[in-house]
Amino acid sequence: MSLATRLARNGVAGWLLPAAIIAGWEAAARAGLIPANVLPAPSAVAEAFWRLTLSGELIRDIGVSTLRALSGFAIGGSIGFVLGLANGLSALSRGLTDTTLQMIRNIPHLALIPLVILWFGIDEEAKLFLVALGVFFPIYVNTLLGIQSVDPQLVEMGRVYGLDRRALFFRVILPGALPSIFVGLRYALGIMWLTLIVAETISASSGLGYMAMQAREFLLIDVVVLSILIYALLGKLADSLARLLERLSLGWHPAFQKG
Amino acid sequence: MSAATLTAARSLIATPAQARTIGSVEGRRAFAFKEVGKRFGDKIVLDGISLDVRAGEFLAVIGKSGCGKSTLLRLLAGLERPTSGSLTFGAAEEGHSRTRFMFQEPRLLPWASVVKNVEIGLTGIAGVAEARQRALAMLEEVGLADRADEWPSVLSGGQKQRVALARALVGQPQILALDEPLGALDALTRIEMQQLLERIWLDQKFTAVLVTHDVGEAVALADRVVVIGAGRIALDLDVPVARPRRHGSAELAHIEGTILDRLFSRA
């Protein structure tokens, strides 16, 4: 086995490029190619990281932001999931709500920010509302699609073999819809961070976005860059968790089987 | 062509509703169609089918595509209701499922292991622990005991259809309805499956109703062959050939010829 294949197997390969970029960036900053007031060196960012970690500020802000993101996700995601299930399983429910939902879906949710600020001020509710609205649609659309694309032949088989409605749902329909639901989940996680960053940047008194905006006021460019990097890492972490869940629950799927 | 076979066939066409006892072992009735008709909108698919099948019989139903043979099977399995006429069954036995349906496709749940798929055949019949025991025993029967915990996606087409057969039979049905289940398999796997099906049928003594477009398969397996044409029974013929039958024997070829003649003389 060549070194490259082995690195790829261990998942190391994906980190080679970011590491190279950081090394190049550090070298360029030290050589004076990048002025420190445009982009601070990685070592300066690391220093800022250390400083803020020691003061407890960073942990607190990450905690606040994560809590907001997850609460908004839980609210919007569960409403989207339930409505997706309902509209996938019942033609009546779909007939009543789908048109309305599709119309709302076409409004970019960030365009509602002025309205949301008027409604909720700049309190927690505003951010929760925006995040919930943002994650609602990917979850809703993909849950609905997943249920609608369950093989009707399998559903007929389940009926013929006497599965009741409950068993039919849990053993045939839900597992069949799961791959699509996971696509929605991963997409929603991306939107969750995006929405939160925008909401916190515009109006907040705590959280990562607030930290970045404060740093801008005081021209602490290392902290601004740090907060951007942390967003990237948090996004990657959320995606990895979703992938792990996917692998654990979709072991039957040929796409997730080894060799 | 034997004159005797043809005469027998003709006399049966003349009185299709007549109770049949030829070659009967126990004579108990598995099910009976009485003047059953089925319409979808204006289209008449079945037009007064009368058919009396005794328990333990292996019946093959042949016909060109669109002749209503699959509809006949779906009526039998309760997937459709007849528009006219009636359908009666023999007494149901305790602990047995009455009718099981084997589809053209395996229709296995890809997210359930092989043994879990077989356990679906015991829904409402056996508890969890017992279901697993019986499913494993049935897998042994179809020669897939060592694949019990694998995903269906790693099995070949023939193996998947064997799992589907195990699922259909694990509940010990009184009637097994087979809708061209071997149609998609390659010729060699097909013969293997036919032999497996015959062996299990001889062993479990259920009533088998096999819908097929392969006349060779029908005469190789069945005690009795029914040809459906234009929504009616065009031919009802016994296959009085001893088992084990040999593929391509002169006797089978002769009966096959008779059926093919009938299929193509009346288009």
CATH number at residue B184: 3.40.50.300
Higher pLDDT, A93 or A13: A93
B16-22: which pairs have CB atoms within 8 A and are 24 or more residues apart?
B16/B50, B16/B51, B16/B233, B16/B236, B17/B50, B17/B52, B18/B52, B19/B52, B20/B52, B20/B54, B21/B54, B22/B238
Whether the upstream peptide bond of residue B244 has omega within 30° of 0, thus cis, is yes
What pLDDT does residue B124 have?
85
B107 and A157 in contact by Cβ < 8 A?
Answer: yes
Mean pLDDT of A179-193: 93
B73 belongs to a structural domain: yes
- Per-residue pLDDT at A38 exceeds 90: no
Q: Are strands B175-179 and B99-102 parallel, antiparallel or unpaired?
A: parallel
User: In this structure, are B144 and B180 located in the same domain?
Assistant: no
Question: What does the pLDDT read at residue A120?
Answer: 87
Share the mean pLDDT of chain B: 85
Of all helices (H) and strands (E), which one includes residue B61? strand B58-62
Do residues B73 and B199 both lie within one domain? yes
Task: Please tell me whether residues B158 and B76 are part of one structural domain.
Answer: no
pLDDT above 90 (res B13): no
- Which positions in chain A touch B110 (Cβ < 8 Å)? 252-253
Q: Which of B105, B111, B169 to mutate to test the interface with A (most CBs of A within 10 A)?
A: B111
- End residue of a domain, out of B172, B188, B203: B172
Q: Is residue B42 part of a domain?
A: yes
Task: Give the three-class secondary structure for B53.
Answer: strand
User: pLDDT at position A11, please?
Assistant: 73
- State whether B120 and A156 contact (CB < 8 Å): no
Inform me whether the pLDDT recorded for B25 exceeds 50.
Answer: no
B194 and B218, same domain (yes or no): yes
Choose from A11-20, A243-252, B137-146, B256-265 the range with maximum mean pLDDT. B137-146
Nearest to B8 by CA among B30, B25, B26, B23: B23
Looking at the structure of chain B, the number of domains it has is 2
CB B146 within 8 Å of CB B162: no
Closest Cα in chain B, distance from residue A164 (Å): 9
Chain A residues near any Cβ of chain B (below 8 Å): 153-154, 156-158, 160-163, 167, 171-172, 175-176, 178, 250-254, 257
pLDDT for A92-127, tens place per residue? Answer: 999 999 999 999 999 998 888 889 889 988 788 889
Judge whether residue B6 has pLDDT over 60.
Answer: no
Which of A151, A154, A252, A258 to mutate against chain B (most B CBs within 10 Å)?
A252
**Domain-embedded: residue B213:** yes
B123 chain-A contacts, CB cut-off 8 A: 161-163, 167
* Average pLDDT for B216-230: 92
- In this prediction, residue A68 carries a pLDDT of 92
Nearby residues of A24 by Cβ (< 8 Å), 6 or more positions away = none
| pLDDT score, position B127 | 86
Chain A contact present for B109, CB below 8 A: yes
Whether residue B44 sits in one domain with residue B7: yes
The region of weakest confidence among B75-84, B93-102, B142-151 is B93-102
Residue B97 lies in a domain: no
Nearest to B123 among A154, A162, A252 (CB): A162
| Residue among B112, B124, B167 minimizing CB distance to A162 | B124
Residues B18 and B38 in one domain: yes
Q: Do the Cβ atoms of B120 and A158 come within 8 Å?
A: yes
Q: Does residue B131 form part of some domain?
A: yes
Domain boundary among B138, B172, B206: B172
Distance from CA of A158 to the nearest CA of B (A): 8
Q: Residue A131: pLDDT above 90?
A: yes
> Does residue B63 lie in a domain region?
yes
Tell me, what's the pLDDT at A15? 84
B110 touches chain A (CB under 8 A): yes
Q: Which residues of A touch B75 (CB under 8 A)?
A: none
Closest Cα partner for B257 from B225, B211, B232, B212? B225
Residue with more model confidence, A198 or B1: A198
pLDDT score, position B2: 44
Q: What integer is the mean pLDDT of A36-55?
A: 90
Asked whether residue A252 carries a pLDDT value surpassing 80, the answer given is yes
Closest CA to B11 of B266, B239, B263, B237: B237
Distance of alpha carbon B170 from alpha carbon B200, whole angstroms: 11
* Top-confidence residue, B177 or A18: B177
DSSP tag of B89: E
Asked if B151's CB is within 8 angstroms of A157's CB, the reply is: no
Q: What percent of chain B has pLDDT over 90?
A: 52
CA distance B169 to B163: 10
Inter-chain contact B101–A251, Cβ cutoff 8 Å? no
Residues of B in contact with A177 (CB under 8 A): none
| Domain shared by B150 and B188, yes or no | no
- Give all domains of chain A, ordered by start, each with its CATH number: 41-256 (1.10.3720.10)
Q: Say yes or no: ipTM exceeds 0.95.
A: no
Per-residue model confidence (pLDDT) at position B267: 42
Verify whether the Cβ–Cβ distance B120 to A254 is below 8 Å: no
The answer to whether residue A259 scores a pLDDT higher than 60 is: no
Residues B178 and B85 in one domain: yes
Q: What is the pLDDT of residues B95-133, one digit of tens each?
A: 666 889 999 999 999 999 999 999 999 988 888 899 999
The percentage of chain B sitting over the pLDDT mark of 70, rounded to a whole number, equals 87
Q: Is the pLDDT of residue B92 over 60?
A: yes
Domain holding B116, by residue range, is 106-172
Q: Tell me which of B150, B172, B194 is where a domain ends.
A: B172
State the best of B70, B107, B149, B160 to mutate against chain A, taking most chain A CBs within 10 Å.
B107
Look at residue B100 and tell me if it is in a domain.
no
Of A153, A171, A178, the CB nearest to B105: A153
Among partner residues B77, B100, B153, which is closest to A252 by beta-carbon distance? Answer: B153
Residues B58 and B86 in one domain: yes
- My answer on whether B133 and B186 are in the same domain is no
| Average pLDDT of chain A to the nearest whole number | 90
Quick one: pLDDT band at residue A155, thresholds 50, 70, 90? very high
d(CA A252, nearest CA chain B) in Å? 5
- Is B236 domain-assigned? yes
Same domain for B183 and B85, yes or no, is: yes
Reduced to 3 states, what is the DSSP secondary structure of residue B18?
coil
Whether residue B59 is found in the same domain as residue B37: yes
Q: Do the Cβ atoms of B212 and B47 come closer than 8 Å?
A: no
Look at A153 and B167 and tell me if their CB atoms are within 8 Å: no
CA of A14, closest CA in chain B: separation in Å? 30
